[in-house]
Homo-oligomer: A and B are copies of this chain.
Amino acid sequence: VTTLEDPDTPFAVVDRARMERNIGRLGMRLDKLGVPLRLHVKTAKSLEVAERVHPTGPGPITVSTLAEAEYFADAGYTDIVYAVGIEPHKLARVLGLRRRGVDLQVLLDSTAQAEAVADASARTGEPIPALVEIDCDGHRAGIRADDPALLVIGRTLVDGGAELRGVLDHAGESYYADTPETQRQAAQEERDAVVRAARRLQEAGLSCPTVSVGSTPTAHAATDLTGVTEVRAGNYVFFDLVMAGIGVCAIDDLALSVVVTVIGHRPDKGWILTDGGWMATSRDRGTAVQKVDQGYGVVTDLSGRVLPDLLMSGASQEHGTLSLRTGSTQDLPELPVGTRVRILPNHACATAAQYAEYRVISGDTVSDAPEIEATWRRHNGW
């Protein structure tokens, strides 16, 4: 039997029971709302994780890179949205995937991109389906739902030989909405923006079959998704301290952690040193802007029980520093050299990206040395 005491540290662990609970929770929500999920695979980048979301076989997914699209296509996924604005140079790979029978849809928010997609479609006689990115909160890319460019882009696609598949938005600002009310409002605005954009296209005689929304916070907050045809979410399979910090989940829902080992002590400084630095957790410090700054992560014992007030407070490349939260009245726990602990990360997408694989524990029972039941690969890169 291999347990979390066995592989050399650091390594990434997935608690399957927690992950399945997270998957079940959103699944039930969306069932009630009557809108299907298009899993975003950018967080886990794992076929086995996607299999838990789509247990009856490949379903609709969202990708953040063409490498993900190719990897999932190899495993039989044929309904894929590439949800980063298309860069014309990448259309060759997009066409390559489409020729393999993958309904890969691209995203864009400018006439320049629409012209490039139309040109590639016309040149090859293969209409590439595109979604127009709508901006609902000024967070990142996209055009506003009432922007005159929307119809120009739509017509450029259709007239040029491409396919206008619909509209898509992402309430990126919802990651900073830290009350149920502001999250619900973000979900409402995310829905309203794409529905409005879709209506404008339809009123102009352009077809708009897909109306896509999504972010982990809004997917959990939405109460009305009338007019929406799909919800995208990915982080929720693992969740993380940033999501816990805004109340979308509890600490006990965090399904991804990193196992590290104590390699030293600095009692003069109140530090416990480990062999897990920022290479093991990433440099992500998402909770630094939240109400409670969790440093590089919350520390649990190997069984997953939180060690009160102990944080991973510092990191160099392969060294981590554990210390008590400022103002804590706890004593620094006794963790001799060789003791293993787990770090719950700020940002699951960033921490998972530091690894090529996950060790999987069932998570069904509490154990001092949880058994590793499987190893799941991740597919990194571009």
Q: Which A residues are within 8 Å of any B CB, using their own CB?
A: 8-11, 42, 64-66, 84-90, 93, 109-110, 112-113, 116, 138, 140-141, 172, 261-266, 269, 273, 275, 278-279, 282-285, 316-319, 321, 336-338, 347, 349-350, 353-356, 380-382
Contact = CB atoms under 8 A, between A and B. Distances in A.
Chain A interface helix/strand/loop/mixed: loop
A348 to B, nearest CB: 11
A85 B278 CA distance: 16
B141 A85 contact: no
Contact of A86 (B42, B263, B317, B381): B263
Given A85-B263, A264-B110, A337 B275 contact: no
A382 B263 contact: no
A265 B316 contact: no
Contacts of A87: 8-9, 261-263, 275, 337-338
Nearest to A175: B316
A273 B107 CA distance: 14
B84 A349 contact: no
Copies in the complex: 2
11 contacts: A9-B382, A11-B382, A64-B318, A87-B262, A89-B338, A110-B265, A112-B336, A140-B319, A282-B283, A283-B284, A356-B381
Given A113-B337, A283-B282, A141 B319 contact: yes
* Most B CB within 10 A of own CB, among A93, A138, A140: A140
Given A89-B261, A264-B109, A317 B138 contact: no
**What 8 A-B pairs have minimum CB-CB distances, sorted nearest first?**
A283-B283, A85-B263, A112-B337, A283-B284, A87-B261, A64-B318, A84-B318, A85-B264
Contacts of A84: 263, 275, 318-319
Given A116-B337, A285-B283, A336-B112, A316 B275 contact: no
